[in-house]
Amino acid sequence: MPRQAQASQRTAGAIPAYQRIKNYVLQQIRSGIWTEGAVIPTELALCKQFSVSRMTVHRALRELTADQVLLRYQGSGTYVAPAKIPATLIEIRSIAQDIRDRGHQHSCKVLQLQQLQASSAQAKRFRLRAGAPLFHSLIIHYENEIPIQLEDRLVDACRVPEYLQQDWSQMTPNEYLMRVAPDPTGLYTIEVKLPSADTAEPLDIPLDQPCLVLDRVTFSSDAFTSQAVMWYPGNRYKLAGKI
């Protein structure tokens, strides 16, 4: 065997088998051979290709799934995960505007519209009286028909009395509220949470898919306007901003 080939073989042998499989999968994705949403070869096929045990292949795919490179669905297969979509964080911007800025198409589906009364906990947090009327909307937002945000919003019904009458296919709640209650201030928190079944279903994700959850309360002229809890699938989205 030529000396160069022997050296190459020794180098390859020094790399753990599971890492060689990971490198192969990453190369297939980066080169465009395997595109977003494409199903990759089965564990058995990779076992035969690399002459390794199924446990070795399972470790490689499990680690790539943890890194959000792959998506694995029991009984369905393993798929190339979609690229994460950046979103503006510090600025209060509309999800639709972020999507349009990327040259993509925004659409949405209204899942729920109703009037509620503020609980004692909500009244304390929003600086309202207990029992004050609130409007509640639950809307799923899509980018190029892929669900990327579930928006669960409460609005002060006294300050924004026409909220429930709006056509949210023409204007997002955020865009509307910026018009009727300008110059907002507020607070937000960001957490990583697992979705409930009611959250996972409209986002079309499994229950074990972590989500970024942005909880934002806004005030205008020092009076409560809105609270929005926005769920972003962790495998499709990343939050970004300027400081």
pLDDT tens, position by position, 152-191: 999 999 999 999 999 998 899 999 998 898 877 888 888 8
Average pLDDT over every residue of 202-210: 92
Same domain, 64 and 102: no
For residues 194 and 205, give the distance between their C-alpha atoms in angstroms, rounded to a whole number.
Answer: 10
Shared domain for 193 and 105, answered yes or no, is yes
- CATH number reported for the structural domain that contains residue 17 in this entry: 1.10.10.10
Distance CA 206, CA 201 (A): 8
Q: What is the pLDDT of residues 64-77, one digit of tens each?
A: 988 778 888 766 78
Q: Which of 36, 61, 80 is the last residue of a domain?
A: 80
210 and 120 in a single domain? The answer is: yes
Q: Tell me how far apart the alpha carbons of residues 4 and 39 are, in angstroms, rounded to a whole number.
A: 36
Domain shared by 98 and 206, yes or no: yes
Provide the residue count of the chain.
243
Domains in the chain, number: 2
pLDDT above 70: percentage of residues in the chain: 87
Q: Are residues 150 and 110 in the same domain?
A: yes
Q: 107 and 189: one domain?
A: yes
pLDDT of 52 above 70: yes
Range of the domain at 18: 3-80
Beta-ladder partners of 227: 154, 217
Residue 2 scores a pLDDT above 60: no
- Do 233 and 126 sit in the same domain of this protein? yes
- Looking at 80, 97, 123, the residue that finishes a domain is 80
CATH number of the domain that residue 224 is part of:
3.40.1410.10
Instruction: Look at residue 98 in the predicted model and tell me its pLDDT.
Output: 84
Q: What is the pLDDT of residue 86?
A: 59
Is 219 found in the same domain as 169? yes
78-86 average pLDDT score: 75
